[in-house]
Chains A and B, each alone.
Chain A
Amino acid sequence: MRAPGKGRNYEIFWKTVFFIGLFITLFGLYWATQQVDYVWRWERIPNYFYYQDEININSDIEGSITAIKEQGNNAIVTVTGENHESEQYEVPADGLRVYEDDTVFVGDTIGVEREWKPGVILDGLFVTLKVSAIAIIFGILLGLFTGLARISQNPALKMSAITYIELIRGTPLLVQMFIWYFVLGTLINNMLDKYDIPQIPPLWFGIASLAIFAGAYVAEIVRAGIQSVHRGQMEAARSLGMSKYYAMKHIILPQAFRRILPPLAGQFISMIKDSSLLGVIAIRELTKGTREAVSTSLQPFELWFLCALLYLVLTFAFSMFVQYLEKRMVQR
């Protein structure tokens, strides 16, 4: 849309300014990397997503190759030792490393099996996705419950909600993660150990820290959403004989939910990004995966840009999804 009262040239001029600025920034970055002799190797990056792992199939005995039989895509290799003992190995035909009559020693490679495996970054992305998805679900449930408790007349519920919200909002997430992992995690796992119940892996303490952190903010969003619904709605519902529970469920919450979707989306986008802190408690999510890849590949520029881009894809997809939900609800 054109700015009111401005000519066509105004639009074109300032748009050009924007694109020139963008170009200068990108070029400047490239130029700077040239100055420090950084070699860009984007072609190596796909390896961190998916790579072909080679598994060596080694001989267990010393002897000679007495037979190689083709069987479909595989080859059956027979190794016979001095005392006529023999072993058979099945290896992929294209990974065969020996010929008939070769002599092999214990540990020599007869063939290699190739297997595609997700790389450290794809693994990390999956963990980030999983952690975020579970934390979002629990965050919403917790936030909804706490938000309702916050406006309840019951002093115990109300005070619990306030304590929880203030405690969580007033302390850094990083510190909360340390507490979950080193304090609560240790206590819980020691207790479980005492009663011979399997341990809880760190991943779940990470999810708990994120969900409980987000829950406090969601609670305030929910409270504001409920209070933004006109008082008359509750009165109308109650005057029809609906209990408080039914009025909330059928009348107030559906209306509140529509209003809290945008701030809720913002909160969870922020939470997806906060999951990058989980590396400090030994959860190998996207950021930690990237750090590991950087330390082995020495390609920090490409990898950190990639890492940022992947977060952007996640948050953007989430934001699109919420916009779709919003549109679907507002259509009425």
Chain B
Amino acid sequence: MIEVKNIYKTFYVPHEVQALSNVSHTVEKGQVVVVIGPSGSGKSTFLRCLNRLEYADSGHIFIDGVDILSPKTNINKIREEVGMVFQSFNLFPHKTVLENLTIAQTVVRKRTKKEAGEVAMELLKKVGIHDKAGVYPTQLSGGQQQRVAIARSLAMEPKVLLFDEPTSALDPEMVGEVLDVMKTVAKDGMTMVVVTHEMGFAREVADEVVFMDQGMLIEKGDPEHFFTNPESDRTKAFLSQIL
């Protein structure tokens, strides 16, 4: 589904940082991959490269066999299939919850308002916010906003869903509800790449855990092995700090 081959990314602003250095990884269809690592390790950059919000300097990224780093690729078409959930939700504050879910469907997928509305209500029910369809996002709690954001991505019926620290901006008591929704999505067979600090979620849901540090992919493995018996010293050091 996703095939990343030797990508590099350097930021020059505000100062030169090698954010990604020779990262390669493959995500199979239906797999849930959790990416962990200390802050500044490049995990968010890695995720943002997957839908080209960041343009990798070199290497190849294939989504469903299409090289998204090729200038000939229509990135909008790729992004229709690769949804993203952000740390700060990024809901559209001038649109109601329902409109947040329907806008891309009507504009990009060319669905009628009615079709889009039906899809949207279905998803809002799934994430448990159907009674708030008519309100504006600012009237919702953080947890509710993030659930709406997940529903907004799902409304496009993507093949892959990327999560960029979806619970990091939430009050602790709201983390659970968002993780529950993510688990439901995972159970439905969605291919997911999740950057998170929620080790519980990683253990329970992930098919594979990836550890990154200083722009490099240090270690990967199934959660059981990863958490109980890590090989790399850096992984060990990181896990001992957070567990």
**Residues of chain B at the chain A interface (Cβ within 8 Å):** 51, 53, 76-77, 79-80, 82-84, 86, 88, 90-94, 103-104, 107-108, 136, 149, 152-153, 156
Contact = CB atoms under 8 A, between A and B. Distances in A.
Determine chain A's interface SS by DSSP, over half rule: helix
B104 A332 contact: no
Given A241-B77, A254-B94, A255-B93, A236 B86 contact: yes
Given A232-B86, A239-B51, A250 B76 contact: no
Contacts of A235: 53, 84, 86, 90
Nearest to B108: A241
Interface in A218-262: 230, 232-233, 235-243, 246, 250-251, 254-255, 258
Contacts of B83: 239-240
Nearest to A257: B94
Nearest to B88: A232
A246 B92 CA distance: 14
Given A240-B83, A240-B152, A240-B156, A332 B94 contact: yes
Contacts of B77: 241
A276 B78 CA distance: 55
A239 B107 contact: no
Interface string A149-180: 00000000000000000000000000000000
Contacts of B103: 240, 250-251
B79 A241 contact: yes
B84 A233 contact: no
A251 B90 CA distance: 11
A251 B104 CA distance: 10
Contacts of A230: 90
Contact of B107 (A232, A238, A242, A255): A242
A241 B92 contact: no
A332 B108 CA distance: 25
Contacts of A239: 51, 53, 79, 82-84, 153
A180 to B, nearest CB: 39
Name the residue in B86, B104, B108, B156 with the highest tally of chain A Cβ atoms < 10 Å from its Cβ.
Answer: B104
A230 B93 CA distance: 11
Contacts of B51: 239
Given A233-B92, A255-B94, A242 B86 contact: no
Contacts of A237: 92, 104
A240 B104 contact: yes
Contact of A241 (B53, B90, B93, B156): B156
25 contacts: A232-B86, A232-B90, A233-B90, A235-B84, A235-B86, A236-B84, A236-B90, A238-B76, A239-B53, A239-B82, A240-B80, A240-B83, A240-B104, A240-B153, A241-B79, A241-B80, A241-B104, A241-B156, A242-B108, A243-B76, A246-B107, A250-B107, A251-B103, A254-B94, A332-B136
A88 B207 CA distance: 107
A195 B204 CA distance: 81
A169 to B, nearest CB: 28
A294 to B, nearest CB: 50
Nearest to A241: B80
Contacts of A250: 103, 107
Most buried by B among A238, A239, A242, A250: A239
Contacts of B79: 238-241
B92 A251 contact: yes
Interface in A295-332: 332
A45 to B, nearest CB: 48
Determine which residue in A237, A240, A242 has the highest number of CB atoms from chain B within 10 A of its CB, and name it: A240
A332 B94 CA distance: 7
B88 to A, nearest CB: 6
| Nearest 7 CB-CB pairings of A with B | A241-B80, A236-B90, A240-B104, A232-B90, A239-B84, A241-B79, A241-B108
A230 B94 CA distance: 13
B53 A238 contact: yes
Nearest to B82: A239
Contacts of A236: 84, 86, 90-92, 149
A258 B103 CA distance: 19
Nearest to A254: B94
Contacts of B84: 235-236, 239
B108 A246 contact: yes
Nearest to A332: B136
A240 B86 CA distance: 12
Nearest to B136: A332
Nearest to B77: A241
Interface string A138-153: 0000000000000000
A249 B83 CA distance: 21
Interface in A247-288: 250-251, 254-255, 258
Of A236, A242, A243, A251, chain B has the most CB atoms within 10 Å of the CB of: A236
A241 B86 contact: no
